[in-house]
Every structure is written in structure tokens, then in C-alpha cells.
Amino acid sequence: MLRPASLIVISLLVLGGCGKPAPGSLEKTEGHGSSPSASASTSLSTSPSGSPSSPAPRPTAPSAQPKVIGTIASNLAVPWGIAFLPDRSALVTERDSGKVLQVTGTSVREVGQVEEARADNEAGLLGVAVSPSYAEDHLVFFYASTGEDNRVLRTTFQNGRLGALKPILTGIPLGTNHDGGRMVFGPDKMLYVSTGESGRPELAQDRGSLGGKILRITPDGEPAPGNPDASSPIWTWGHRNGQGLAFDADGNLWASEFGQDTYDELNPIQKGHNYGWPTVEGKGDQPGMTNPQVTWSTDEASPSGLAFLDGRLWLGALKGQRLWRVDVAGRRASAEKGFFVGKYGRIRTVVAAPDGNLWVTTSNRDGRGDPAGDDDRILLVRP
């Protein structure tokens, strides 16, 4: 069935230090509070314990500021995940309804529903990923909060409909907050999955728990070959609540992460590294723990989706109500700059589209925003 939506087709011619966290407030959620300010973030150029020794970022040629050039879809119910298919259409998840939509040209069509998903505050139907071998296997993957856990589900998408859902990884800790949920396939064709510590900070350092981790699994849900522990899906640990994953042009993985009260983070992800939570929030310089490359105050970020395009990372900020742009070179990041501050409200998901633009979702109907009449939207942004 066709879902009412506002869609605009735009032709290519038109497109032409922090130490140990303070006690209390461990239940801080994914960014709600006062209006955003335009304060500056902090790039961390010092070499942290366990961090890479990459050269400093090269200067990036000046470019035009990003511009919203259209609306892909509107009147959505908290769009959370977006993944493109080979035909350039996209599968979109709605967190609170559990619906899966296909956005194609001028239509938004419901193609299925993840019945297992249970919406509860930050929990619900979250990430989606498309198999790198989709042309042969037609596989798609979803991250869903159920009544008992968070899990990764696999199904097929053929002839415009989802097939039967099969759980391939279960037992990820569930909470009303800090459920993680972003998924991305790497150049190695393994699936990387961000999880939250479900409001229990101690799980992030517990190697026996899947909470507060980045996981690396095969398309069958098994621990991927080459993981730090061959019997475990855990790739890295010490995360609080990561909702953004993106690979750059060199194959480096980056992750965005919600802080507690002081610093949100952008981290270069490396096999077997410990990213510090809850021992540190932001830069801690602790032995055996890796510092972030960039930190922001929680008022100007509360970061969710992350995308890489044209030598830069693009990050959506919920409480910060802006789109951040960050230059990267190797595993170093710098020159972060925010755009659209307060103009579109809460920004959650950012993905690079096949046409070289960005798709950016608002998240003003998630219970913490001030929705406009046509929210939530997928905006088309020329970088």
C-alpha cells in the first residue's frame, strides 16, 4: 500500500579533559533539554594510550556550505535506519511503529513490519543493513528491541516484500535507554553492530556481556574470523551508547557515542580497543584505553547517525539540533563545524546516497522534540 508522504524529485541538473564521570545522572538519555547553542567542539590531537599514530589531517579544500535542497519524505514516525538497495531505492525503519518502508522515486511504500519489535522510549525497530551480496542473496538485516532483549534479525527482501524474519544474534541487553542499534557492513563483508549498555554502565567493561560494545559478526550471526576472541562477536568494548557507524575511504571504521553529562565522542574504531566507559567520559589518558578524536559538549551534539562522504564525516546531533561536518585523514579528525543549528530540530540519521548527496532524518516525534506539521522528514542535503 502507498503511504501518504511528501516527496520531491530533484534532477541532477538542479543539484548542478575529562576524567572519571561524576556520580549520578547515569540514566541520561539520547539528548533532550535546552535549545542548542553554537559553542565549539574539541579536537584531540594528542596521541592517547592505545590510539593510532596517524599523520595530522591534510588541509581540505574549501567547499560550499551544505544546503537542504529538497524533502525526500515527510510525515514519518521516528525514522531510524536507512539502507540503500542496488536499484537506489532505500529501506527505512520506523522506531515506534515497527514498520519497514521502501522509498522509491516519488513513493513511500510499506513493505513489511517487524512484529517482534517493541517500542519503549529509545527501544524499538532501529538499524537496517543490506547484504553486500544483495544481488545474489537478497538478504537484509534489522536491529530490533523485543520484550526480552535486543537482537539482530535477518530476512529476504524480494518482489517488494519482506520474507520471514530469523534471529541470528540474540541476548544483547535491553533497556528503555542506551540500546545502540546501528549496523553497517565493512569492506570485509562482515556486519558491525553497535550496542548500548542499557543504562547499566558496568556492562561496557564486562567482556561476558554484549552490552556497550561494537560487535563483528558473519551474515549468519557467528563471531567473525579475526575477532579478538574467536568465540565472541565482540570487536571493541567500553562504549556507552553508540548510534553511529561509518567506514571511510581507507576502510577505517568510525563511531559516534553519547556521553553522560559532559562529553560526546567521535572515535576511530580499532580491533580489541577499550574506549573507556564508564571509567572515563571523553579524553581520559588512561592506560589501556583509547581517547576519542573529537569531543563535544552534550548540549551541542548527543550524536546519532554517522556517514562518510567526500573525505568527511557527517554526524547528526539530536540535542544539538545540527549536522556536524568533520574532516578526516587516516585515523585523525579535525575541523569540525556545525550546520543548520536549530533549523530542523533534532537530527538523527545521516547516510550517503548513491547520487552523492546526503539523506538526513529529523527525529522530532520521538517524544523529545517539537515537531513541525510535516515531521518527521527525510531531508535531501547537498554537501
What are the residue numbers of the active site? 178
Question: At residue 221, what is the residue type?
Answer: G
Nearest residue to 363 (alpha-carbon basis) of 65, 38, 102, 30: 30
How far is 216 from 213, CA to CA, in rounded Å? 10
Give the position of cell 535486543.
150
Dihedral through CA 6, CA 323, CA 310, CA 104, nearest 10?
A: -20
How far, rounded to the nearest angstrom, does the alpha carbon of residue 40 sit from its chain's CA centroid? 22
Question: At residue 356, what is the residue type?
Answer: G
Buried (b) or exposed (e) across 363-374, using 16+ Cβ within 10 A? bbbbebbeeeee
Q: Are 153 and 116 in contact (CB under 8 A)?
A: yes
How far is 266 from 204, CA to CA, in rounded Å? 17
